[in-house]
Amino acid sequence: MSLTSCGPRLGLVTALSLITFPVWAQPDDLPAPVEALVDQGLTIHERFEAPDGLTGYAASAQGQPVAIYVTQNGQHAIVGNLVDAEGNNLSSEPLDELVKGPQDDALWQRLEDSHWILDGDAQAQRTVYVFTDPNCPYCKRFWEAARPWVEAGDVKLHHIMIGVLKSDSPAKAATLLGADNPAEAFTAHNRGDEVAPSAQPADIEQQVQDNNTLMRSLGLRGTPAIIYRQDGKLEVAQGMPDEEKMRAVMGSPRP
For CATH 3.10.450.70, list the domain ranges present in the chain. 31-101
Q: Contact at 8 Å (CB) between 159 and 117? A: yes
Residues 6+ apart with CB under 8 A from 28: none
Q: Contact at 8 Å (CB) between 183 and 119? A: yes
Q: What is the pLDDT of residues 54-70, one digit of tens each?
A: 999 999 998 899 999 99
Binned at pLDDT 50, 70 and 90, residue 29 comes out as: confident
Binned at pLDDT 50, 70 and 90, residue 120 comes out as: very high
Q: What is the pLDDT of residues 141-158, one digit of tens each?
A: 999 999 999 999 999 999
CATH fold for domain 31-101: Nuclear Transport Factor 2; Chain: A, (3.10.450)
User: Alpha-carbon torsion 114, 120, 125, 128, what sign?
Assistant: negative
Which of 62, 53, 102 is closest to 82 using CA atoms?
53
Binned at pLDDT 50, 70 and 90, residue 11 comes out as: very low
The pLDDT of 40-52, averaged and rounded, is: 93
DSSP string, 103-165: HHHHHHHHHHTS-EEEES-TT-SEEEEEEE-TT-HHHHHHHHHTHHHHHTTSEEEEEEE---S
Whole-number CA gyration radius for the chain: 21
3-state secondary structure of 89: strand
Confidence (pLDDT) at 2: 41
Angle between helices 182-190 and 169-177 (to 10 degrees): 130
Residues 6+ apart with CB under 8 A from 224: 5, 130, 131, 132, 136, 138, 139, 142, 238, 239, 240
Average pLDDT, the chain: 90
β-partners of residue 47 are 57
- The Cα angle at residue 210 between residues 204 and 211, in degrees rounded to 5: 95
The mean-pLDDT minimum among 169-173, 194-198, 207-211 falls in: 194-198
Distance CA 253, CA 55 (A): 43
- The Cα angle at residue 160 between residues 156 and 163, in degrees rounded to 5: 145
Distance CA 103, CA 129 (A): 17
3-state secondary structure of 231: coil
The mean-pLDDT minimum among 100-104, 133-137, 148-152, 198-202 falls in: 100-104
Strands 116-119, 155-161: parallel, antiparallel or unpaired by DSSP? Answer: antiparallel
User: Alpha-carbon torsion 64, 70, 76, 78, what sign?
Assistant: negative
Domain 114-250 has CATH 3.40.30.10: yes
For CATH 3.40.30.10, list the domain ranges present in the chain. 114-250
In angstroms, the Cα distances linking 121 to 41, 124, 147, 154, 249 are 44, 5, 12, 8, 17
